[in-house]
Chains A and B, each alone.
Chain A
Amino acid sequence: EPEVTQTPSHQVTQMGQEVILRCVPISNHLYFYWYRQILGQKVEFLVSFYNNEISEKSEIFDDQFSVERPDGSNFTLKIRSTKLEDSAMYFCASSAQGATSNEQFFGPGTRLTVL
């Protein structure tokens, strides 16, 4: 069964460093998303991406964050200058069509620890 994959599973970085989290969505899906879950808190929407551009973003997704689809398979989330409060589990998701009508499938997550 097709699934969303994410690498790395765990990333440790120093405050102020840049990190790139990688995702491979399900191959025939067109819509891609990033979410985060701070330990013990709710899952929070960050951004959605379609046709090589951001379609929606939350107030969390500020100038420190960026997303890119560098090739036909990968979808990345970049955090330019990490802060302690960026420590969280980051989930990538994809859907065949827009999320207003379609089920989203999630990857296993990347645990980001900022020291």
Chain B
Amino acid sequence: KQEVTQIPAALSVPEGENLVLNCSFTDSAIYNLQWFRQDPGKGLTSLLLIQSSQREQTSGRLNASLDKSSGRSTLYIAASQPGDSATYLCAVRTWHDMRFGAGTRLTVKP
């Protein structure tokens, strides 16, 4: 059974800092991995989708990498801003469903 873990559970950084969020999964038989942002009481906003054949994807200040063989993905956020404060979720797509991590709650302090 696929298990998805995100470390750390919470992270607080000063504005302008570069940071890395981690996601690990137990079964490397995945189709893709998607990173989301969730604001309190809100829905999920898709950030990046990495297919299993890809190593990384970039969008603006965000860069996500995937190492399927080791069961890891990272989300790199450059030059963080207070508006980046949210919970970041990773989700892996397997044949049967989509499994989510519990998220990393990011706070960027001005």
User: Contact residues of A with B, CB < 8 Å?
Assistant: 33, 35, 41-45, 56, 58, 91, 93, 99-109, 111
Contact A105 B46 (CB under 8 A): yes
Residue of B31, B45, B99, B101 touching A106 (CB-CB under 8 A)? B45
B36 nearest CB neighbor, chain A only: A106
Q: Assuming the A-B contacts A101-B31, A101-B51, A106-B36, are A44 and B42 also in contact, with contact meaning beta carbons closer than 8 angstroms in the complex?
A: no
Contacts of B98 in A (CB 8 A): 33, 35, 45, 99, 104
Does B32 sit within 8 A of A, measured CB to CB? Answer: yes
Binding site for A on B (CB under 8 A): 31-32, 34, 36, 41-46, 49, 51, 89, 91, 93, 95-103
Contact in complex: B97, A106 (CB < 8 Å): no
CB atoms of A42 and B102 under 8 A apart: yes
Q: Nearest residue in B to A108 (C-beta to C-beta)?
A: B43
Given A100-B32, A103-B34, A104-B34: A45 and B42 interface contact (C-beta under 8 Å) = no
14 of the cross-chain contacts (CB-CB < 8 Å) are A42-B100, A42-B102, A43-B100, A45-B97, A45-B99, A56-B96, A93-B44, A99-B31, A100-B32, A101-B51, A104-B46, A106-B36, A107-B43, A108-B43
Tell me how far the C-beta of B38 lies from the nearest C-beta in chain A, rounded to whole angstroms: 8
